[in-house]
A and B are shown apart, each in its own frame.
Chain A
Amino acid sequence: AQSVTQLDSQVPVFEEAPVELRCNYSSSVSVYLFWYVQYPNQGLQLLLKYLSGSTLVESINGFEAEFNKSQTSFHLRKPSVHISDTAEYFCAVSEKSSGDKLTFGTGTRLAVRP
């Protein structure tokens, strides 16, 4: 069965600084990987996903994540964060053999300070 580990429950960072949110997964088969963002009092929104092909995926608002199979990681990065990036970020994995069943990490709270 798959599992997801987000080691950092909170990441404080100053505005315009770079940030990395870590995500590691455990699975014995091929996987799809996702990052979701949840702004205060809102539902989850898909930020980016890796399904196949290029291991580096990007979102429209400057985030990127790289699938590293050997390290079983899918860390999320942004070179310069904004106050508006303050949110909860969830990493998720689904095994290609499990019928798209998603397993979520425990989430990382990104707090951007001015």
Chain B
Amino acid sequence: SAVISQKPSRDICQRGTSLTIQCQVDSQVTMMFWYRQQPGQSLTLIATANQGSEATYESGFVIDKFPISRPNLTFSTLTVSNMSPEDSSIYLCIVSGRQETGELFFGEGSRLTVL
């Protein structure tokens, strides 16, 4: 199993500012994903964080708005840039184990409110 620490757990931000969310795993994992859950909605994949290279973004998400880093196999960051109230969401880090077995582990999420 993998234990994920996600920070901050929640924050209130001003419009136009940026916030970086950290995801730290207690073991090396192959895949790290960033998801967003807007109020009352399901989870939407933002991007796959690739170790040592640029993240792979899903349709509708761009690097300028959601820059992602993954310097090693246990850590990743997601930045929400130039925030607007529409960015108010829960941002979730999800990881898979060393082998692609379908075993997935969830961070506790970061609840962002943009005023």
**Chain A contacts to B: CB under 8 angstroms:** 32, 34, 43-44, 46, 49, 51, 90, 94, 96, 99-107
Contact = CB atoms under 8 A, between A and B. Distances in A.
Interface residues of B, number: 22
Q: Which 10 residue pairs are nearest across A and B when measured between Cβ atoms? A: A32-B102, A100-B96, A104-B43, A51-B102, A104-B42, A106-B42, A43-B109, A107-B42, A99-B31, A100-B31
Contacts, number: 54
Interface string B51-90: 0000000000000000000000000000000000000001
B42 A105 contact: yes
Contact of B43 (A32, A49, A90, A99): A90
B102 A96 contact: yes
B33 to A, nearest CB: 6
A94 B31 CA distance: 13
Interface of B: 30-31, 33, 35, 41-45, 48, 90, 92, 94, 96, 100-104, 106, 108-109
A97 to B, nearest CB: 9
Contacts of B41: 106-107
Contacts of B42: 90, 104-107
A102 B108 contact: no
Nearest to A100: B96
Given A44-B43, A96-B102, A101 B48 contact: yes
B45 A94 contact: no
A49 to B, nearest CB: 7
A109 to B, nearest CB: 10
Given A44-B106, A99-B31, A51 B45 contact: no
Contacts of B100: 96, 99-100
Nearest to A109: B40
